[in-house]
């Protein structure tokens, strides 16, 4: 029953656009794409944060690098997704390799701060790219071109592409963390000195995980740029990194579906509060919709304080009883 649950959810996700189209609510498909893209980004961060135990406070930089790579390719007249998206992954992955090679020499708080510092550098770098919009951002005249008869301009097609990539990523991650590699990085998280002592090059394993997560983050970035047909340096701001971390915590640190749960939970909550009038809240404070982030903050705080296992933890506990 539990093993079937993810497939059941996947089926629901596949059915969603068909239902929405028949209800004439295609807006929700766009929103769902956005949530799935963030789910992909959060899932990639979860590899580093949850499985590797590395508190990276700069993941938005890799997402942003991917987004900018894909956008610049479109602007420069190479719209093919088959070139632009892998390139976005390569750029972000290489960037993560460099950042990781330096940052992973530090520990604890210093690691948090140095990843943040690198993310800030890349943030200011994008602001300085005047040829590509600077701090105004870059508007894309078209989405990437996937070929194969797929029209990415169509929101429903785009949704299915995003869903397929997310499913692939989660599948890849599940294979990765259950393989020797995953076991090793989890063991390094628990006791690095011991793993070093029995002969595992901890640094190399951590760096590999960091680079893979960076590349997957870059893919999420490329999708995000396509989804919005727009990029700006704002997606690299440090608060975006914080948001991705919140998604991972909210969903479940080191849980395969943690990133997905977290993105659905956080963005769903934001959407619910910002665009739907809830009677009792409105009675309490009429203008509450302008302050939806307040409720998001409160929920985040409560999750961190009282449910550090996140949404995935809720499922786990029930199973044990």
Q: Which residues bind another protein (CB under 8 A)?
A: 49, 55, 57, 102, 105-110, 112-114, 116-118, 120-121, 124-125, 127-128, 130, 134, 238-239, 242, 245-246, 249, 253, 290-291, 293-294, 296-298, 300-301, 304-305, 308
CA distances, 114 to each of 100, 105, 230, 277, 313 (Å): 10, 10, 29, 42, 30
How far is it, in rounded angstroms, from Cα 19 to Cα 35? 18
How far is it, in rounded angstroms, from Cα 265 to Cα 247? 8
Closest approach, Cβ 53 to another protein, in A, equals 9
CA distances, 250 to each of 89, 178, 255, 270 (Å): 26, 23, 11, 14
| Contact assessment for residue 310 and residue 251, using Cβ atoms and an 8 Å cutoff | yes
In what helix (H) or strand (E) does residue 119 lie, and over which residues does it extend?
Answer: helix 108-128
Each as own residue / partner, the long-range contacts of residues 165-169 (CB below 8 Å, 24 or more positions apart, any chain) are 165/40, 165/219, 165/223, 166/36, 166/37, 166/39, 166/40, 166/43, 166/260, 167/10, 169/40, 169/43, 169/44, 169/216, 169/219
Closer residue to another protein in complex, CB, 165/246: 246
Closer residue to another protein in complex, CB, 118/210: 118
Virtual torsion, Cα 44, 124, 144, 28, nearest 10 deg: 60
Closest approach, Cβ 209 to another protein, in A, equals 17
Closer residue to another protein in complex, CB, 56/92: 56
Tokens of 90: 């390569």
Closest approach, Cβ 214 to another protein, in A, equals 17
Closer residue to another protein in complex, CB, 181/238: 238
Closer residue to another protein in complex, CB, 16/97: 97
Closest approach, Cβ 84 to another protein, in A, equals 25
Closest approach, Cβ 20 to another protein, in A, equals 30
Closest approach, Cβ 48 to another protein, in A, equals 12
Closest approach, Cβ 1 to another protein, in A, equals 32
Closer residue to another protein in complex, CB, 118/205: 118
Count CA within 13 A, CB hemisphere, residue 224.
30
Closest approach, Cβ 140 to another protein, in A, equals 21
Which pairing describes strands 230-231 and 138-139: parallel, antiparallel, or unpaired? antiparallel
How far is it, in rounded angstroms, from Cα 16 to Cα 317? 29
How far is it, in rounded angstroms, from Cα 31 to Cα 157? 14
Closer residue to another protein in complex, CB, 31/112: 112
Question: Which residues are CB-neighbours of 74 under 8 A, at least 6 positions away?
Answer: 84, 140, 141, 142, 143, 144
Closer residue to another protein in complex, CB, 88/248: 248
Closest approach, Cβ 98 to another protein, in A, equals 11
CA distances, 109 to each of 56, 80, 207, 268 (Å): 10, 41, 18, 31
Closer residue to another protein in complex, CB, 47/152: 47
């Amino acid at each position: 029953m539990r093993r079937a649950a993810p497939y059941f959810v996947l089926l629901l996700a596949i059915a969603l656009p068909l239902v929405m189209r028949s209800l004439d609510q295609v807006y929700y498909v766009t929103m769902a794409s956005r949530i799935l893209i963030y789910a992909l980004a959060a899932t990639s961060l979860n590899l580093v944060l949850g499985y590797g135990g590395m508190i990276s406070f700069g993941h938005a930089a890799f997402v942003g690098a991917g987004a900018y790579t894909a956008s610049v390719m479109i602007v420069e007249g190479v719209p093919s997704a088959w070139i632009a998206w892998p390139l976005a992954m390569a750029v972000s992955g290489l960037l993560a390799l460099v950042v990781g090679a330096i940052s992973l020499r530090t520990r604890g708080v210093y690691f948090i701060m140095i990843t943040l510092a690198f993310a800030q550098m890349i943030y200011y770098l994008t602001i300085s790219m005047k040829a590509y919009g600077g701090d105004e951002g870059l508007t894309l005249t078209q989405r990437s071109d996937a070929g194969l008869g797929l029209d990415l301009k169509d929101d429903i097609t785009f949704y299915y592409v995003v869903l397929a990539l997310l499913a692939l990523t989660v599948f890849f991650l599940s294979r990765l963390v259950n393989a020797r590699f995953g076991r090793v990085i989890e063991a390094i998280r628990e006791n690095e000195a011991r793993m070093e002592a029995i002969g595992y090059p901890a640094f190399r394993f951590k760096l590999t995980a960091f680079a893979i997560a960076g590349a997957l983050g870059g893919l999420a970035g490329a999708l995000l740029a396509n989804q919005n047909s727009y990029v700006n340096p704002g997606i690299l701001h440090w608060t975006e990194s914080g948001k991705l971390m919140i998604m991972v915590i909210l969903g479940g640190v080191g849980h395969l579906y943690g990133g997905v749960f977290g993105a659905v939970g956080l963005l769903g909550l934001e959407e619910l509060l910002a665009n739907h009038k809830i009677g009792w809240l409105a009675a309490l404070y009429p203008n509450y919709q302008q302050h939806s982030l307040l409720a998001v903050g409160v929920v985040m705080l409560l999750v961190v304080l009282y449910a550090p296992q996140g949404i995935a933890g809720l499922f786990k506990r029930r199973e044990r009883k």
